[in-house]
């Protein structure tokens, strides 16, 4: 709230009689009370106090808010006792935090310092139980509003991907360019919003075949990340890279469905409770563009097979079925399971249908591989 609003709150709370020339409050039978400082920030109210108020001063200056600023929420908590603050005034409880636990924690911390949190939208007088009921209702409403915002934000990000626009840093064989056909994003309180971008092939034409080669090494040769890194590093002219090939970069590219021409959102959960960590979401929770929206390095079927090989390698599985898949890829064929009875499975291999025991014995797998390699 602005300064006039804060003064009105103090008038209501302290039976204001007069203001002295310095802006202090002269209350009946009380000493002059003054506003010691103004603390506010503009980072998300869903963040904990220690992660708020960290924006550069230039950002706050650009907002041109007519209220002075002596720091953010964490600064208030750190300096409340040193500044001999007795009361903290805010417009309402969700201005402290959208998360109910965070606002309660802040209030509890201030209370231990003998600092009372006062909210302008709460009535004065009455019983303590009534005051507490109003406060908790307000904090619950803030938490619900937080959930609604997350739902709406996630929905917007899903539509962003479905429409073919890129999230994050572009993968190795691509670059991100502004989508001239996208609607104008307009402005918000921080200025003009970032334009929507789409993926196009990188200016270095060697990157597409390089990415295709490393995917093939996993899909057909069943090579592990370290082995692929050695092959790529041995041919810097054929497989260019700004810094160096690493196992994480190779594994990340192989796992990235954007190489199949689709935009995909929600592959990872960034908010895990531990700073700097993320986890993979189940593929059922990924949001895909319904059709390819940029040039593909590999087909979707090739990408899926690469993920199967990766899972098998991580599980120490060099199963006969994977060897059959690899042999089929080398011949430009596909092996697709049509049905299974538990003891036997029916596969479509190219134009032929084969029935094999499950699991496939090594001898049967080798016979299928030799049969495909003899096919012209």
Q: How far apart (Å, rounded) are the C-alpha atoms in residues 223 and 232? A: 12
Q: Could you give the CA distance from residue 203 to residue 239 in angstroms, rounded to a whole number? A: 14
**Cβ-contact 348, 335 below 8 angstroms:** yes
User: Does the structural domain 205-316 have CATH classification 3.90.1750?
Assistant: yes
Q: CA nearest 34: which of 77, 86, 78, 82?
A: 86
Terminus-to-terminus CA distance in the chain, angstroms? Answer: 79
**pLDDT (0 to 100) of residue 270:** 66
Nearest to 183 by CA among 151, 149, 159: 159
Q: Tokens for 288?
A: 């895909």
Tokens linked to 4: 């006039």
Distance from C-alpha of 271 to C-alpha of 279, rounded to nearest angstrom: 9
**What is the torsional sign of CA 215, 218, 223, 226?**
positive
Q: Report which of 324, 337, 336, 334 is spatially closest to residue 371, judged by C-alpha positions.
A: 324
Q: Are 265 and 259 in contact, with CB atoms under 8 Å apart?
A: no
Q: Does domain 36-149 have CATH number 3.40.50?
A: yes
Quote the tokens at residue 79: 């300096």
Is residue 170 a contact partner of residue 135, using CB atoms and an 8 Å limit? no
Q: Which regions of the chain carry the CATH code 3.40.50?
A: 36-149
Instruction: Note the pLDDT of residue 30.
Output: 41
Instruction: Report pLDDT for 23.
Output: 39
Count of beta carbons in the 10 Å neighbourhood of residue 150: 13
User: Do 216 and 307 meet the contact criterion of CB atoms below 8 Å apart?
Assistant: no
Token pair for residue 82? 């040193």
Q: Tens of pLDDT along the chain (376 residues)?
A: 455 554 444 443 433 333 333 333 333 334 556 788 999 888 777 788 888 888 888 888 888 888 889 988 889 989 988 888 889 998 888 888 888 888 999 999 999 999 999 998 888 888 889 888 888 998 899 899 888 988 888 898 888 888 889 888 899 999 999 888 877 766 665 566 778 889 999 999 999 999 999 999 998 888 889 989 999 999 999 999 999 999 999 999 999 999 999 999 988 876 544 555 678 888 888 999 999 999 999 999 999 999 988 888 876 655 677 777 777 777 777 777 777 776 787 888 777 888 888 777 878 878 888 887 775 4
Considering the chain, tell me which residue range(s) the CATH 3.90.1750 domain(s) occupy: 205-316
Judge contact between 12 and 122, C-beta under 8 A.
no
Q: How many helices (H) and strands (E) would you count in the chain?
A: 11, 15
């Amino acid at each position: 709230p602005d300064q006039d609003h804060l003064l009105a709150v103090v008038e209501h709370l302290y039976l204001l009689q007069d203001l002295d020339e310095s802006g202090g409050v002269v209350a009946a039978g009380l000493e002059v009370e003054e506003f010691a400082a103004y603390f506010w920030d503009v980072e998300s109210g869903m963040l904990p106090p220690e992660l708020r108020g960290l924006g550069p001063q230039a950002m706050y200056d650009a907002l041109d808010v007519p209220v002075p600023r002596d720091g953010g929420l964490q600064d208030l908590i750190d300096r409340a006792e040193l500044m001999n603050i007795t009361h903290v005034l805010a417009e309402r409880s969700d201005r402290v935090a959208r998360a109910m636990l965070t606002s309660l924690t802040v209030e509890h911390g201030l209370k231990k310092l003998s600092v009372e949190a006062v909210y302008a939208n709460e009535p004065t007088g009455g019983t303590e139980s009534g005051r507490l009921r109003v406060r908790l209702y307000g904090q619950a409403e803030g938490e619900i509003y937080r959930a609604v915002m997350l739902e709406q934000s996630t929905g917007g990000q899903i539509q962003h991907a479905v429409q073919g626009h890129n999230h994050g840093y572009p993968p190795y064989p691509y670059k991100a360019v502004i989508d001239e056909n996208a609607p104008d994003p307009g402005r918000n309180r921080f200025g003009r919003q970032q334009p929507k971008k789409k993926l196009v092939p990188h200016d270095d034409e060697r990157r597409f075949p390089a990415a295709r080669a490393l995917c093939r090494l996993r899909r057909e040769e069943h090579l592990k990340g370290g082995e692929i890194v050695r092959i790529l590093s041995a041919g810097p002219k054929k497989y260019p890279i700004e810094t160096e090939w690493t196992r994480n970069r190779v594994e990340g590219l192989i796992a990235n469905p954007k190489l199949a021409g689709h935009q995909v959102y929600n592959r990872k959960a960034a908010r895990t409770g531990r700073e700097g960590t993320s986890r993979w979401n189940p593929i059922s929770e990924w949001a895909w563009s319904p059709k390819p929206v940029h040039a593909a390095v590999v087909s979707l079927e090739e990408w899926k097979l690469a993920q199967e090989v990766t899972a098998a390698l991580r599980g120490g599985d060099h199963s006969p079925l994977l060897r059959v898949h690899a042999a089929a890829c080398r011949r430009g064929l596909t092996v697709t399971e049509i049905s299974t009875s538990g003891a036997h499975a029916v596969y479509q291999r190219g134009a032929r249908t084969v029935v094999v025991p499950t699991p496939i014995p090594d001898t049967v797998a080798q016979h299928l591989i030799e049969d495909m390699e003899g096919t012209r």
